[in-house]
Amino acid sequence: MYFYLGPTAIKNRADPPSTRTGVSSIPNTDTDNAMVSEVTAGGEVVAGEDVAMTDKTVRFDEAVLVQPIERGEPEGSGFYFNFYSSLQNQANMIGDTARTGTYRKAILGNAEVAFKDKVVLDVGAGSGILSYLSAQAGARHIVALEASSMAEKIALLVNASNLGRSNPHIKNRIRVVRGMVENEKVQEEVLRTGKVDTIVSEPIGVMLLHERMVESYLLSRDLFLKPGGQMLPSGGHIFFAPFTDEALYNETDQKPSQAQFFNATLFGTDFRELYTVARAEVFAQPVVGMFPPTSLLSAPCPPKSFDFYTCAKDDLLEFSVPIDYVVSRTALIHGLASWFDLDFAPNPASATGVNHPSAEEPWEYAVAAQTAAWPWMSQETPLNPGPTPPPPPHGLEVKLSTGPDAPRTHWQQARLLLPEPLAANKGERVVGSVHFKVNDARSYDITLEMRIDRPGPEHQPNPLIRRAEYNLSQQCFNYSYNPETALPATVAGMAYGA
């Protein structure tokens, strides 16, 4: 079953228009409450203004709020930020226990090397969950940078903690900055307390890079991170593998509400000339959802990898990924499946000299046992696990996989359908490339070329080649596969010849 979710597919958001532009800031204070001062677009400081929320006035201590969409921001950013301003959508991400649990393990497992008594920057803080985990790991000061109006909701929790009402672990530790890292005034505000020891972020989208938040993550590294500082996540890898799925292909080809709709006479006018264009639009939509590992026709080839400690923003703007597979069984190739892994590892160039982090078995086993036992613990659930063992002294390498044999995440997986399937025999080699180029929809235009590596007819179009184009921002969803039936990795590997 398909759901089409609009031009940015997963995360579209827009804050309500604001009558104020510029920077609203709150000075440090030892009192329980603080006044808000605003720097307008013209640089004028308006001091002593309260921030009103809901039915009462709330004053934020150690909170800095920066108005979101200023002139010069990319067109359409308003829709982008509106999605993240919703607590319902934040709940969807926090409730992704594979995602949030991995971040928790990475942050608490690297407490000694990256958080204890450190200054931390949380880029794109959202609900603030990574800031709160950083506080649990012992961070001395945390800057929570968030461009949407979720910044005000983080400030509510921070203010309540500073007043002693709740969450003593974050009391007087978190400073909220509202704005985009690309904004110079925001940069000045973040640097008010100097450069940071560690940056945490969840800048990830479908196929790793959708929404282009990783670019902001790298900019934060260049602007704010001390030499040898830590980054979590530390890297990402995009995987591709050919797949077969006749049902998905037929469902896409026969979508009555889109391509087939125009293959008819409508109100006395023949629309069939538009059928080919409408069909191309349908197949240009990446399909997001879970799929069975048994649909893969090969193990994935080596991934496209990005080391967030060293890669440049320009490395993300345009790149190609070569593909090369040996087909495990005779079948129709209906397209290319994709997923990604995230790495969480201490910086090998860390000034602390930590260069041998590992997934220490006693720590891992203790965390796993705690997770397995949660149903029988009165105060613990997957969303509120108990305390972890003491962190490994040399840090912890953690990996998050979104592959078809891994626990489901809210990113799921993606598939690029070929408008015309490609027939392949067992043992044949399939080669080609996947080309990514950024677009103005905070996403990517993708070009796929795939061919069977055998001679084709001379002086004729090669029937063994397929080319297709996709807009990663124009995603649709397919929920026809039940992830509860996913095969273990070992069985899945046998299925596609790994």
For residue 217, pLDDT over 90 is answered with: yes
Nearest to 157 by CA among 126, 181, 115: 126
Tokens encoding 161: 């903690």
Residue 104 sits at φ, ψ, to 5 deg, of -60, -45
pLDDT at 188 over 70: yes
What are the b/e assignments for 464-493, b being 16+ CB within 10 Å? bebebebbbbbbbbbeebebeebeeeeebe
Q: Confirm whether pTM is higher than 0.75.
A: yes
Calculate helix-pair angle for 97-109, 87-94, nearest 10 degrees.
Answer: 70
pLDDT above 80 (res 47): no
Cα(137)–Cα(232) distance, integer angstroms: 13
Between the alpha carbon of residue 17 and those of residues 67, 220, 241, the distances in Å are 10, 26, 43
Q: pLDDT digits over 78-121, tens only?
A: 665 666 666 777 787 888 999 999 999 999 999 999 999 999 99
Separation CA 378–CA 263 (nearest Å)? 59
pLDDT of res. 410: 92
pLDDT at 456: 58
Three-state SS sequence of 337-380: EEEEEEEECCCCCCCCCCCCCCCCHHHHHHHHHHHHCHHHCCCC
Question: Which H, E and C letters describe 113-170, residue by residue?
Answer: HHHCCCEEEEECCCCCHHHHHHHHCCCCEEEEEECCCHHHHHHHHHHHHHCCCCCHHH
Average pLDDT, the chain: 80
Residue 85 structure tokens: 């301003």
Classify residue 5 by its DSSP letter.
Answer: -
Mutual angle of helices 77-84 and 87-94, in 10-degree steps: 70
How far apart, in whole angstroms, are the C-alpha atoms of residue 316 and residue 318?
Answer: 6
What's the burial of 27, exposed, middle or buried (CB within 10 Å: 0-12/13-18/19+)?
exposed
Cα 115 from chain centroid? 22
193-206 residue pLDDT tens: 899 999 999 999 99
Tokens of 92: 């969807």
What are the pLDDT digits (tens) for 125-158? 999 999 999 999 999 999 999 998 899 999 999 9
pLDDT > 90? residue 340: yes
Domains located in the chain, CATH noted: 7-233+345-400 (3.40.50.150), 238-341+409-495 (2.70.160.11)
Residue whose entry in the numeric block shows the structure tokens 């596609």: 496
Q: Residue 362: what pLDDT? A: 59
Mean pLDDT along residues 34-54: 33
Identify which has the larger pLDDT, 81 or 353: 81
Distance CA 101, CA 312 (A): 28
The DSSP bridge pattern shows strands 398-401 and 465-471 to be unpaired
Please give the Cα distance from 349 to 290 (Å, whole number). Answer: 37
- Rounded to an integer, the average pLDDT of 4-31 is 34
CA 287 to chain CA centroid, Å, is 17
Reported as a single tens digit per residue, the pLDDT across 367-384 is 555 454 433 333 446 788
Model confidence at 349, pLDDT cuts 50, 70, 90, reads: confident
- CB hemisphere CA count around 155 (13 angstroms): 29
Strand (E) or helix (H) holding 90: helix 87-94
pLDDT of residue 21: 30
Question: How far is residue 474's CA from residue 57's CA, in Å, rounded to a whole number?
Answer: 41
The reported pLDDT for the residue numbered 428 is 96
Task: Determine the straight-line distance between the first and last CA of the chain, rounded to whole angstroms.
Answer: 30
pLDDT attached to residue 330: 98
Stretch 437-452: mean pLDDT, rounded?
Answer: 96
pLDDT of 402 strictly over 80:
yes
CA distance 227 to 230: 9
pLDDT digit string (tens) for 225-276?
999 999 999 999 999 999 999 999 999 988 756 678 888 899 999 999 998 8
How much is the pLDDT for 455?
A: 66
What's residue 18's pLDDT? Answer: 34
Reported as type and span, the H/E element at residue 259 is none
Residue 327: name the closest of 496, 81, 120, 134 by CA: 496
**20 pLDDT higher than 80:** no
Q: Which of 205-214, 375-384, 397-406 has the lowest mean pLDDT?
A: 375-384
Average pLDDT rounded to a whole number, residues 165-182: 94
Q: Residue 145, Cβ neighbours under 10 Å: how many?
A: 29
Closest C-alpha to 169, from 107, 94, 250, 85: 107
